[in-house]
Amino acid sequence: MDAAIRNYLVVTGGYWAFTITDGAIRMLVVLYFHILGYSPFEVAMLFLFYEFFGIVTNLVGGWLGARIGLNLTMHIGMGMQVIALAALTVPDAWLTVPYVMAAQALSGIAKDLNKMSAKASVKTMASGSAESRLFKWVAILTGSKNALKGGGFFVGAALLEWLGFRGALAVLSIGLLLVMIVTIILLPSGVGKMKSKPKFTQVFSKVAAINWLSAARFFLFGSRDVWFVVGLPVFLYEVLGWTTTEVGAFLALWVIGYGFVQASAPKLISKSHHGQGPGGGTARLWAFILALFPAGIALGLQQGWPVDSVLIVGLILFGIVFAINSAVHSYLILAYSDHDKVAMNVGFYYMANAGGRLAGTVISGWAYQTQGLEGCLWWSTGFVLAAALLSFGLPELKSKENV
């Protein structure tokens, strides 16, 4: 087997395992603390440090990965996630808001170290390959990750009902520790390390395309989390009366389907870029299409249409189009980056991603508590339109030399 493909498979496998724990811990925290009596806004606040430290981690992590190697930053992230999972197994009396926020901060750092490392590694492993192959590899990595994050939602909800909060966390932490040991053994050292030691000031991109893309990414991911993180699961549990397992299974199926669409994005939109990777025009088109769906769901709910049907159909359509948007963005950040600066550019880009998630998470809890699920959806529509408008700053990629 080609060494690049072997390393890609090892990185992808480690990323998959981490992603299951990331989805599971999110669902565990949302449902368990809602059951304990936390308000939607208080539940959202538990993720404040998770998202905030994601911003910091992406800013520093890309620079760190360029200095010490991407495989090392990936394993540091795995180790921190094991600690974060174990930290929440303490008795309920210890689970104060500051304590849980601190544990979630550690998990947020771990998640973004792992994600930045895995995605930037793909650029180095696909070095010298055609851009269509890079688009395919990135789409498969990202799409499969999101499918497994959906699986993590179900795993977290099911383990909560089966083993309880602490039993679920113990199983997840032990499993991830074993995967970390295996990937340490299999991966070569020094992946993604720059020959020269970059200065910290170099993390701020001087490439206009990357700055525009990062700004669009902020609003794209904010548009999802502003209703998906807190508003939707609490609405399903509290208003529609679903069990924790039913909520977890439904959200899991949505994210799994979203992941499969994202992995298939190169085939779905291949005719529009004739063998080349997608460019700025593709990003703009799909962002404007996406804005139709949260607005449509909100209008359907306000008109009194059947809630279950509106949410299920609307979520499926939103997920399909959102997945294509995300896959195009994930490709463009690598396509716009030079090989020797990919870690720092990906880190900067995912800093914006984490910023959007932070804004979306906070607004999700506040908007649901004050404006209901419809309010969350109108916020989502506004965020998508902002991403579409910012995408006018994205250039086309006419040939490989433009990358």
**DSSP letters for 338-359:** -GGGHHHHHHHHHHHHHHHHHH
CATH of the domain at 51: 1.20.1250.20
Helix boundaries (H) for 36-96:
40-46, 48-68, 70-87
pLDDT at 299: 94
164: left (phi over 0), alpha (psi -120 to 50) or beta: left
CB 16 within 8 A of CB 145: yes
Share of the chain above pLDDT 70, in %: 77
| pLDDT tens by residue, 43-99 | 878 888 887 887 777 777 666 766 676 777 888 889 999 999 999 998 888 888 888
In angstroms and rounded to an integer, the radius of gyration of the C-alpha atoms of the chain is: 20
The Cα 63–Cα 203 span in angstroms is 6
Structural contact between residues 213 and 380, judged by C-beta atoms closer than 8 angstroms: no
Higher pLDDT, 30 or 8: 30
Q: Give the pLDDT mean for 335-357.
A: 72
What is the Cα–Cα distance from 42 to 158, expressed in whole angstroms? 23
Q: Which string of DSSP letters, residue by residue, matches 141-156? A: HHHHHHHHHHHHHHHH
pLDDT at 131 over 80: no
User: Which of the two residues, 44 and 307, has the higher pLDDT score?
Assistant: 307
User: How far is C-alpha 227 from the chain's CA centre?
Assistant: 15
- Whether 108 and 53 have beta carbons less than 8 Å apart is answered as yes
Number of structural domains found in the chain = 1
Query: Residue 298: pLDDT above 80?
Result: yes
Q: Residue 259 belongs to what domain range?
A: 3-402
pLDDT digits (tens, 9 = 90+) for 229-242: 788 888 888 888 88
